[in-house]
Structure 1
Amino acid sequence: MSEFPLRNDSYQTAKNVAVTIYKSGKEVELLETHPEEKGIVIKVKVDGEEHIKAWAFFKDIKPSTMKIDNGSKKIEIAFEKAAVENWPHAEASSDATTPLYQKWSKVDFPEEEEVKDQGIDKFLQGIYANASDDAKRAMYKSFIESGGTVLSTNWEDVGKRKVEAQPPK
């Protein structure tokens, strides 16, 4: 798995919010969707290679209202908002997710030499690909609920509570 290769976007109306993944002439297969109240994580196969992408929305959505339109040129995944209102942005502030990527470089991982050349996205995708179902659930929940500031693989901890956003330390 590598960096997400497809152009993507999000938009909103007062009642709905949606993400769009543009196929750009590539062979794209939607493998998994994991909607949560704060966002969605998807897994796609692009030209035979698997990729993961997460979106954290500005406010809560109704995950059970997910509608997928898998067309020839794009995939659109739409949800009803938990409350009818216009948000300043469809997605949570990009400032909230910045610390996630800046802080990982300071962690001492055993496989650090291999990872340097591949980038942090590849490393995190490797963790996800080899994780248990509980660890994957913990990763989804912690990332989405915290707006991208927390990433945990500990389901025993994350499953019991709401994961709050944490500012960089």
Structure 2
Amino acid sequence: MSKQAFEDANEAFVDDKYEQAYELYTKAFESDEKTDNQFTSKVLAARAQCALKLRKYADALSDSNNAIQLDETNVKAYLRKGTALYNQDSKDEALKAFARGLEIDGIVEKNLCELSREFTIFLATNDQLKTWKEKCEKDLEEKKSTATEEKDKPAAAAAPIPPAKIKHSFYQSDSTVNIQIPIKGLKKDQVQVQTTDTTLSVSTKVPATGNDYSLEIDLAYPIDSSRTSFNVTGSNIEIKLLKKQALQWSSLDAQSSANKNQPPVPMSGVATVKAPTYPSSSQRAKDWNKVEASIKQDEKDNKEDMGDANSIFQQLYRDSDENTRRAMNKSMYESGGTCLNMNWEEVSKGKISCEPPDGMEWKKYDS
């Protein structure tokens, strides 16, 4: 039950559901039989990471210390501890935690007999520890320099600066993964982007608030880290990763349930786009090719019908006597083509009136 709760917590964490993940990590810890110190330590270190996301720095520090007591080789616990101390402005202690984590990481790495996924995780944690250690050293050096310049002024206690919570997004092709982080007002030299073939680390300060921003991801699939590039625009950090394989990434994170529960899917070719029927704004689709064919068929049928009628009149006129022809000509002319009478005795008695179809009116054309 404990391990299932731990897996559920990992999935909630990947989906940025930190409150839910924290509760599930707590459930995993409480239901754990405490017989496997390494697993219990792993649960506590994971809950510490979740506490950092929720800005519960004291809780994160407590869980990290407990995780280290259970397993002194838990490198991630040192990383969480240092991060918690850093955000509580205990940078001297944070630096010690990061340095100790790197020392432990070096010992563990030597004991690994072969390359494996666990090895890549150690490498990823190693890179993050180095980044945080360098950040601590830089901040402490700046603080020392400022203190020297203003030694006569009372030192003001710096308020803890919580990390910025900023959503990132990504899109992809068969060869690249492009990540966008929406932070405005940055310059490229203010952003640190580091990658290995399986990890991504981003850190900077948010100009609008002065808060630290960091992003650490174990990537879903391997990349060619030597070809990683990034750019900073007025509103985004844009990172371009080169895939080693043309696989579909359901998520950036290797721990995502979408990646864990599905086999790798090759990227398909360009989808064939079906041409829209015209007009595309119509609520009902209509096949205009069929309409055109129907109109042409009607025209053909009408033409054939008209041809039959003309041939009948021509035959009647040709086979009639002189008086019948005279009647036909007179009736058609005087009626404006609306009346045909073949009886000369009736037609000769007077003018044939125009008889337009129902609903129509006869008018003489004005020349």
TM-score bracket relative to the smaller structure = 0.3 to 0.5
TM-score, normalising length: structure 1: 0.48
Please state which structure has a larger fraction of its residues in strand. Answer: 1
Which of structures 1 and 2 has the larger relative contact order (alpha carbons within 8 angstroms, sep 6+)?
1
Q: Counting helix residues as a fraction of each chain, which structure ranks higher?
A: 2
Calculate the TM-score normalised by the size of structure 2. Answer: 0.24
Which structure is larger by alpha-carbon Rg, 1 or 2?
2
